[in-house]
Amino acid sequence: MTAQLIPTLSSNLNLNKLPQHVAVIMDGNGRWAKQRGLPRIEGHRRGANTLKEMLRYCKDLKIKTLTAYAFSTENWGRPTAEVDFLMTLFERLLQKELKEMEAERVCINFIGDLSPLPPSLQQEMHRSMERTKNNRDIYFNVAINYGSRHEMVKACRKIAEKVQQGKISATDIDENMIAQHLYTSSSPDPDLLIRTSGEMRLSNFLLWQLAYTEIYVTDTLWPDFNHEQFEQALESFQQRDRRFGKKVG
């Protein structure tokens, strides 16, 4: 992780009104590389650094949970060379960063269907989850082979099995039970979602969990998303009036 990142002097951040859980759709790596005449994989490499810095910054601000979208169920449709590169990059990063995550008291958790991932990557993922499971400074959820619709189908199947086995009845199913069967069962819903590179869509990310999340979209491409820009997102969040459907006027 890089040097300490403290809110800039010009910052209007209210440290008592920060989101507890920030989710991020890290988009624009390919465009960042293309603008520089580099291969797309360079954008992914740089994007990994951005994530590392963002994790550090969240920790410094005592934001409790960071959830990052790293690979969607739809991203398998990309060229094989890019997919292979990303899988190798994830594995290398885990090998390289585990010690520091342990030292920094990061609790890493992967959300998504890990079973189709390369076995050596799965091994690193389980190892890092196991080694950091008691850390409490920051919860770091990384969505890999994650798709919200797939997550919901999986939850429905698990609940239906319980009904079939007579463990619960259909009328026991409520919002809480569904939330408990999602990958995110141990996290509160995100307060703030950031999407870089200007796209105004969710791309199958946390459809259930984002029901009342504040959304911030920036044109900045993910590899260029730095702590000043993160502060701008946080300041924008602090100006929002979160009504949850309840308040009027």
Binding site for Mg ion (CB under 5 A): 27
> Which range in 1-9, 115-123, 128-136, 198-206 contacts ligand IPE by CB under 6 A?
198-206
Q: Output the six-digit token pair for 34.
A: 């293309």
Whole-number minimum distance, CB 207 to ligand IPE, in Å? 13
- Residue 75 catalytic? yes
Per-residue tokens: 167? 């463990």
Residue count at the site for ligand IPE (CB under 6 A)? 17
- Residue 194 identity: I
Ranked by CB distance to ligand IPE, the top (closest) residue is 30
By a kind-dependent CB cut-off of 5 to 8 A, residue 18 interacts, out of Mg ion, ligand IPE, none, with none
What is the C-alpha radius of gyration for the chain, rounded to an integer number of angstroms? 19
Q: Which does 36 bind (CB under 5 to 8 A by kind): ligand IPE, Mg ion, none?
A: none
Report 155-184 residues binding ligand IPE (CB under 6 A): none
Length of the chain: 249
Among residues 127, 158, 201, 242, the one that binds ligand IPE under rule CB under 6 A:
201
- Exactly one of 12, 14, 29, 75 is catalytic; which is it? 75
Instruction: Tell me how far apart the alpha carbons of residues 113 and 143 are, in angstroms, rounded to a whole number.
Output: 9
Going by C-alpha positions, the residue among 111, 18, 94, 10 that lies closest to residue 60 is: 18
Contact status: 57 vs ligand IPE (CB under 6 A): no
Give dist(CA 86, CA 70) in Å, integer.
Answer: 9
State how far the Cα of 94 lies from the Cα of 110, in Å rounded to an integer. 12
72 binds, among ligand IPE, Mg ion, none (CB under 5 to 8 A by kind): ligand IPE
DSSP-derived 3-state class of residue 139: strand
Could you give the string, one character per residue 71-110, with x where binding to ligand IPE holds by CB under 6 A and - elsewhere? Answer: xx--x----------x------------------------
Q: Which of residues 12-31 bind ligand IPE (CB under 6 A)?
A: 25-31
| CB neighbour class for 6 (10 Å; exposed up to 12, middle 13-18, buried from 19) | exposed
Judged by CB under 6 A, the stretch of 58-66, 99-107, 196-204, 240-248 that binds ligand IPE is: 196-204
Residues facing residue 67 across a β-bridge? 23, 141
Q: CB of residue 26 vs Mg ion: minimum separation in angstroms?
A: 9
Closest alpha carbon to 95 in 146, 48, 162:
48
Q: CB 71 → ligand IPE: shortest distance, Å?
A: 5
Does the annotation count 135 as an active-site position?
no
In angstroms, the Cα distances linking 48 to 90, 94, 103, 134 are 9, 11, 19, 24
Backbone φ, ψ for residue 195 (5° rounding) = -125, 125
Binding site for ligand IPE (CB under 6 A): 25-31, 69-72, 75, 86, 197, 199, 201, 203
* Residues with a known catalytic role: 27, 75
